[in-house]
Amino acid sequence: MPSSRLTLVVSLLFALPALAAQGDPKVREAAQRGITFLARSTAAWQQQHQCYGCHVQAVTLEGLAVGKQNQYNVPQKELGIILEGVLHSQGGARTAGGLSQSLFPRTARTFGGVAFARYDQYVDSKLRDDLLKLARTLLEYQQKDGSVQGDHESRPVTAGLMQATYQAMQTWRQAYARTADDAWLAPIRRAEEFIAQKAASWEGKPEGIYLQDVNYALLGLTAAGASRSEDVAGKVARYLVSLQQKDGGWGFSAGTSDPFATGQTVYALRQAGFTEEDTPVSRGIRWLVSHQQKDGGWGAAGSGKAEALWAVLGLVSVDVVSVAVSGLRDGEHVAPSQTIQVDARDNTGKGIQKVELLIDDRSAQKAQGGKLSYTWDTKGLSDGKHTVDVVATNTQGQVSRRRLEVYAGNVFLTSLGSRFTSSGTELAARNIAPKERSGRVELRVRIADMKDGQPQPGTQMFQETRPSAQGPMTFTFGGKGQDGKPFRTGRYFAEFSFVDEKGAVLQQERLLFTHDTPESQYAQYGEVAGGLALGNGQQASNAVVELVDEKGRIVQSTRSNETGQYRFKSVDKGEYKVRVRKEGFKDAEMPVNSAPATQAAANVTLQ
């Protein structure tokens, strides 16, 4: 990427002038017209063709789901028609052949996967079984380099390898969000490695990069959990901003702007954490509003044209309240003291009633009106991830939320996962160490020996060391010794260690996994899983969850994911307690029985 462009973009991103003190209601009005137009046009297309057309229904369903999340009026009749088509028409998900299209079944499924993921994330659980089925199917399409191979490319609608890879990643990400099964994390890390390597190859070659590849790269990195505070995601985001035209739009041809490219780029930037307060996004939104036609669309051919689909996705990311946060960046390691500034702006023309700042789901500061300032003393924080939520309420009682995730202390290796494949067990983690933090990552695999009725780390069978590098890290435990003879199948411990340049172990994480096929794992061991909630109905993310045996010993420990889900795998038969701890809330316990080939459920509410 050219240095002159990056210098310009850095100055833009760190000196972004805000929008007017009051949000512009015309933006949401335009987005609402777009949603209505898109829903009606796509429903009419569905009734006319009576089949699943992957881009038409899938991207529309994604747009309507995002609109629902951001409190737009989504036409329910038309949404029902679209769902009926996606599920039961020719090529639908619940027909004999499953979600498909006769000429390009893979592309049909990658498009459908991300649509089902957004629907499950933002609307309801009606499509959850279909989502998980598609997620498993997409695993078959992942290549050795981590990419996901589709079977159709006709730009700009179907854009090739980067598009299919992102779509699979978002599908797997939501599958993990709903199941907390760490098997989904390993393919996500491999796909993230592919995107990171591809993005690195773009350095210094700006003219040969297709805009959609950059958009899908940023969307994929975001799906993997990367933030703009990380090197690769930050560079990709800045490069996208540098491609913005003078009129505020983006285009697939040099010097031009169009609704498809502008809507998609605005959507990608929003997913990466940009808000309407950021100049590139606000300019892109204004371009979309100014080019919208009277019927709510953007092209003469209606929703059959991709312009309307992506333009709506760009606009519906505007919630009833825009929340800007400064002084804290998503994904960063906190300083000893952080001054957080919040500026909330109503987009309905009604004004802001109050703003509240919550840290780890506990109220830290409240303010009347739309502005809040809080100095956060982080010195007493426990090592690990912490959540910061801003909840803004307008004078009509409508609520918008924004969440940031930050880290304290020596926490660098996160999101541990394992998945058995034909090549062995894939072991994966995300390295979030700041770029300036030097060191190395060590992986040791040890046999799980049974001692006093519970698995304990035994003989070391495998070791690999790599220099610390920010982003995904994947290893393969082949299950064979240097003599080529296979190790026994069964349970092992993976020990991930972050070691600094002086040889001190700053962090060590342990993961129990079974080196065997999923079918054998299921037959030999049980699983314990469930969901955690707070007393106010919110999901209890980032809580410590322990599986405790009859003697009071902690057999396994984990943390709940972003939707409050947790899961213990490779559990022996027996009686246990699920113990949940979250600072500021009362500890809770629930008894549970585990048996092979079963999943025991334990759902807990914290008070």
Quote the strand ranges of 422-525, DSSP E: 424-431, 439-451, 454-467, 471-477, 490-500, 505-515
At a CB cut-off of 8 Å and minimum separation 6, what does 145 contact? 193, 194, 197
pTM greater than the 0.85 cutoff: yes
Average pLDDT rounded to a whole number, residues 221-248: 96
Integer Cα distance of 101 and 55 in angstroms: 11
The span from the first CA to the last CA of the chain, in angstroms, equals 51
Average pLDDT rounded to a whole number, residues 451-463: 94
β pairing state of 424-431 and 384-394: unpaired
* Average pLDDT for the chain: 93
Is residue 604's pLDDT more than 80? yes
Residue 22: pLDDT band by 50, 70, 90 thresholds? low
Residue 8: pLDDT band by 50, 70, 90 thresholds? very low
Domains and CATH numbers, the chain: 3-9+26-318 (1.50.10.20), 324-408 (2.60.40.10), 413-520 (2.60.40.4070), 525-606 (2.60.40.10)
Integer Cα distance of 173 and 181 in angstroms: 10
H helix count then E strand count, the chain:
14, 22
- Gyration radius of the chain's alpha carbons: 24
| Predicted local distance difference test score (pLDDT) of residue 210 | 93
Nearest residue to 561 via CA among 178, 9, 66, 5: 178
| Predicted local distance difference test score (pLDDT) of residue 18 | 35
Integer Cα distance of 61 and 65 in angstroms: 6
Amino acid letter, residue 28? R
Helix axes 105-122, 128-139, angle to 10 degrees: 140
Average pLDDT rounded to a whole number, residues 282-308: 82
At a CB cut-off of 8 Å and minimum separation 6, what does 300 contact? none
**Burial class of residue 140, CB neighbours in 10 A (0-12, 13-18, 19+):** exposed
Phi-psi region of 255 (alpha: psi -120 to 50; beta: other; left: phi over 0): left
Integer Cα distance of 448 and 455 in angstroms: 5
Report pLDDT digits (tens) over 123-174: 999 999 999 999 999 999 999 999 999 998 889 889 999 999 999 999 999 9
| Predicted local distance difference test score (pLDDT) of residue 357 | 98
Integer Cα distance of 56 and 111 in angstroms: 10
Cross-strand pairs, 420: 425
Amino acid letter, residue 541? S
β pairing state of 526-534 and 604-606: parallel
Average pLDDT rounded to a whole number, residues 576-582: 98
Cross-strand pairs, 341: 326, 373
Contact 474, 413 (CB under 8 A): no
| Predicted local distance difference test score (pLDDT) of residue 299 | 78
